[in-house]
Structure 1
C-alpha cells in the first residue's frame, strides 16, 4: 500500500516537471518569430493600435490565446490570419514556453483592487 502511494506520488511529481514551461526556450521562439515586429519593443509597444500589448500578461491567458490561433478558434481577436499561420506549427509545449516567457516580461498590466 505504501509502495503504491509512493509510486503514485513520484509519477504525479514527474508529470508536473514534464509540463513545466521553459522561459529560455520561449524567448528563443519569440525571437525566431520576430514577435516584436508587431507587438513592439519588449512586446509592450505595438506598432499599430490593432496589436495588443502582451508583455506581462497572465501566462494562462497568453497560452489560451496562442492555442486558440492553432485550432482556428474565432473568438474575438483570435481570427488574425498572420497569427494563425505563425502559431500553427508549434506544439502545446512550445506555446506554453512562449507564454511563460512573455508573461515574465515587465508590462503595463494593471490589476484593480
Structure 2
C-alpha cells in the first residue's frame, strides 16, 4: 500500500511539473481507439467492467495509465494485457497529455452521498 501511495504521489508531482498538451492528448486518444472499449465520449463503456473515463481526475488517469506499463511488479502495476499493449506505445508525456484531455471531457460519473 505504501508503494502505491508513493507511486500516486510521484505521478501527481509529475503532472504539476509539466504542462499538458490537450490537443496532442486528443490526437493520441483518437489514434489509440479508446472509444472501441470505453465508448462514445469515453463515457459509455461497451462492457460493464470497462470504466467511464471522461471527467475523472487527470492525476488519477495518468497514474492508472502509467501503472499499466509496469509489468514486473504486481504491487504497483495493473494486470490487464489489453491496456498494457495500448500504453506500451506511448511515452509518459503522451500519457500525461491523454490524461489531461480525458479529464477535460464532460463526464457522467455521479458521487453518491
Instruction: Give TM class, smaller chain.
Output: 0.7 to 0.9
2-structure distance, mates of 1:58, 1:84: 20
Query: Cα offset for 1:47?
Result: 0.4
| C-alpha RMSD of matched pairs (Å) | 2.4
Shift of 1:109: 2.7
Task: Write out aligned runs for 1:47-86 (5 A).
Answer: 47-72=46-71, 74=74, 78-86=78-86
The answer for unaligned runs of 5 or more in structure 1 is 1-15
SS at match of 1:70: coil
Determine helix, strand or coil for the equivalent of 2:46. coil
**Structure index of larger Rg:** 1
Question: Runs (4+) of structure 1 moved beyond 6 Å?
Answer: none
Secondary structure in 2 matching 1:38: helix
Give 3-state SS (helix, strand or coil) of 1:67's partner.
helix
| Whole-angstrom CA distance in 1 between matches of 2:76 and 2:48 | 16
Q: How many residues align?
A: 98
TM-score (norm 2): 0.77
Residue in structure 2 matched with residue 88 of structure 1 by the alignment = 88
Shift of 1:18: 7.1
